[in-house]
Amino acid sequence: MVIKKVDKLECVFKRNSRGDTQLVASLEDEYQFGEEVYGFESVIDSRFPKLEEKNKKVELNSLNLEYNKRKDSSNLENDQTDEVVDTFKENCKNDNIYQQFLRRESFINANEENIQISNGDGESNKNVNENTTNYDGEYQNGKRHGKGILEFSNGDKYEGEFKEGKINGIGIYYFSNGDRYVGEFKDGKRSGKGTYYKQNVIKYDGEYKNGKQNGKGIFYFSNGEKYKGEFKDDRFNGRGVFRYANGDEYHGEFKDCINNGKGTFYSPNRYRYHGDYKNGKRNGKGILTLANGDKYEGDFKNDQFHGKGIFIFNNSKKYDGQNGIEIYNNENANRLDGEFQDGKPNGKGILYFSNGNKYDGEFKDGQFNGKGTFYILDCLKYDGLFKDGRFNGKGIMYLDNGDKYDGEFKDGLFNGNGVFFSADSVIYTGNFNDGKPNDKGTFIFPDRNNYEGLLKDDHFDWINVFRKENYE
């Protein structure tokens, strides 16, 4: 009988020249029954990269997809960045400048005394009431009517048009802190088109109704970010575009300053997402396209792939699964059909490799766990139990030369009780340790003669299997 070295598969995650972590299936010509380790190692690392959200200030829950990076040749380290999930709604709570701006929404009602002074129709006079509010302008029927200037005791001032005692028409309102509003008024409130200046740093330019931002407008932030779109009651509501200082953009629907509904997020040189949002996160169906050409199309839940989906690699390789997975750009994996949960494979699935290899079985937390079958180039097949990505427990290994092992495995190697069937009809039954026969065993030869005893020097050589002098 001839010793045949059989390829050993090692599935590991490696890093390519671009810095992407890859799932690589490599074959090593080191598979021999004897002194060399006899076994089959399958290592699947469960630390998938996270799709993160990152922005400096007003983050509309965009994702920054970061791949895992290797710390060294044997260990993977998840290079995480701090996740920032600030929406404009949250910013509205914390931004003192914007809070001051909103508090001034009722400035007309608070400062407008609606004072009536009878000095003749159409005459311009300057008067002071008991609250030291000064008015210099036109009157009609004893009410402020026409153009005038109204000064308030707190230092605010209005210059513009009045109608029947109220601020109506075009005017400018100057705040004591240097802010100003230029635009239209109706019944003492901002209504129509107008522009609000916040010390020339923050500016709103758009439509008002009943003293609040309602309709279409543009809101500028001091860090260079801006929102252009629809407003309702001082909040982003409806369709709009948010442009970030770093160049990212979100185009889509908003509700109460948070992206909700259909939308598209662009991140130059990183990714593009088009799909559903809910409560500021990707929820529902969507398409995520990475800068390298990889693409996921399917269901999302809380910013993760979750539900039915297809992952297509830029080399036309494809991932097709259920309940989502954060997947690596690798040059060996072709497609994965199966069940996923919270961004990792969990449940039954089939992983196809471009070189023809295939795993069909159970997953847990992104690794082969439970019952499964592994095919290598349609020549080598393992059918049995997996744990943490390796053969662990009872299983059967079929070799391309006709040999077969039926027994226990540990960490990818023969360990425990097992039976080895050679293609030459020699059967060995006994105990194995680290891939080698160990201690006492029983041989059944083609002529059905049996031999039972200890192995000489704990070494078993199929070439000398018929030479009984090698055994004690």
Please tell me the distance from the alpha carbon of residue 456 to that of residue 366, in angstroms, as a whole number.
Answer: 43
Pick the residue with more confidence: 126 or 444? 444
State mean pLDDT over 4-19: 39
Task: Please give the share of the chain, as a percent, with pLDDT higher than 70.
Answer: 60
Greater confidence (223 vs 228) lies with: 228
Give residue 337's pLDDT.
77
Q: Which residues does 464 contact at the CB level (< 8 Å), separation at least 6? A: 470
Mean pLDDT computed over every residue of the chain: 70
- Residue at a domain's end among 209, 232, 259: 209
Give the number of C-alpha atoms closer than 13 A to the C-alpha of residue 4, restricted to the C-beta side. Answer: 12
Residue % of the chain over a pLDDT of 90: 37
Judge whether 457 lies within some domain: yes
- The Cα 294–Cα 292 span in angstroms is 6
Q: Does residue 256 register a pLDDT over 60?
A: yes
CATH of the domain at 190: 2.20.110.10
Q: Which residues of 99-131 are buried (b: 16+ CB within 10 A; e: fewer)?
A: eebeebbebbeebbeebeeeeeeeeeeeeeeee
Question: Per-residue pLDDT tens for 334-374?
Answer: 667 777 777 677 788 888 777 788 889 998 887 899 999 99
Contact 9, 357 (CB under 8 A): yes
Average pLDDT on 135-145 reads: 93
Least confident of 380-389, 396-405, 410-419, 438-447: 438-447
Q: Is 72 domain-assigned? A: no
Q: Residue 337 has which token pair?
A: 């059909």
Task: pLDDT band for 448, please (50, 70, 90 cuts).
Answer: low
Q: Find the Cα–Cα–Cα–Cα dihedral 85, 88, 92, 97, rounded to 10°.
A: 110
Structural domains counted in the chain: 2
Query: Domain residues for 426?
Result: 399-471
Q: How many CB atoms lie within 10 A of CB 7?
A: 18
What burial class does residue 447 get, using C-beta atoms within 10 Å of its C-beta: 0-12 exposed, 13-18 middle, 19+ buried?
exposed
Residue 441 maps to a domain: yes
Q: Is the pLDDT of residue 273 over 90?
A: yes
Location of structure tokens 């078993």:
460
Please name the amino acid found at residue 289.
T
Check residue 431 and give its pLDDT. Answer: 86
Q: Say which range, 250-264, 273-287, 293-307, 447-461, has the weakest mean pLDDT.
A: 447-461
> When comparing pLDDT for 159 and 36, which is higher?
159
Number of other CB atoms surrounding residue 52 within 10 Å: 17
Q: Is residue 404 part of a domain?
A: yes
Burial 363-392 (b: 16+ CB within 10 A, else e): bbebbbbebbbbbbeeebbbbbbbbbbbbb
In a domain, 442, yes or no: yes
Question: Around Cβ 413, how many Cβ atoms within 10 Å?
Answer: 20
Residues 6+ apart with CB under 8 A from 17: none
Query: pLDDT by residue (tens digit) across 321-334?
Result: 444 333 333 456 66
Which range has highest mean pLDDT (41-50, 436-445, 462-471)? 436-445
The predicted structure's pLDDT at residue 443: 80
Q: What is the mean pLDDT of residues 426-435?
A: 85
Does a structural domain hold residue 356?
Answer: no
Mean pLDDT of all residues in 169-191: 94
Residue 191 in domain: yes
Q: How confident is residue 70, by pLDDT bands cut at 50, 70 and 90? A: very low
pLDDT band at 275 (very low <50, low <70, confident <90, very high): very high
pLDDT at residue 361, as a whole number: 92
Instruction: Inform me whether the pLDDT recorded for 176 exceeds 70.
Output: yes
Q: pLDDT category, 268, cuts 50, 70, 90? A: very high
Give the span between the Cα atoms of 238 and 253, in whole angstroms: 5
What's residue 140's pLDDT? 94
Q: Which residue has the higher pLDDT, 97 or 140?
A: 140
Higher pLDDT, 305 or 236: 236
Report yes or no: 26 and 40 within 8 Å, Cβ to Cβ. no
Question: The tokens of 36 are what?
Answer: 């060399």
pLDDT (0 to 100) of residue 381: 86
**Residue finishing a domain among 183, 209, 235:** 209
Confirm whether 12 is domain-assigned.
no
Last residue of a domain, one of 157, 188, 209: 209
For residue range 17-30, list pLDDT tens digits in order.
444 433 333 333 33
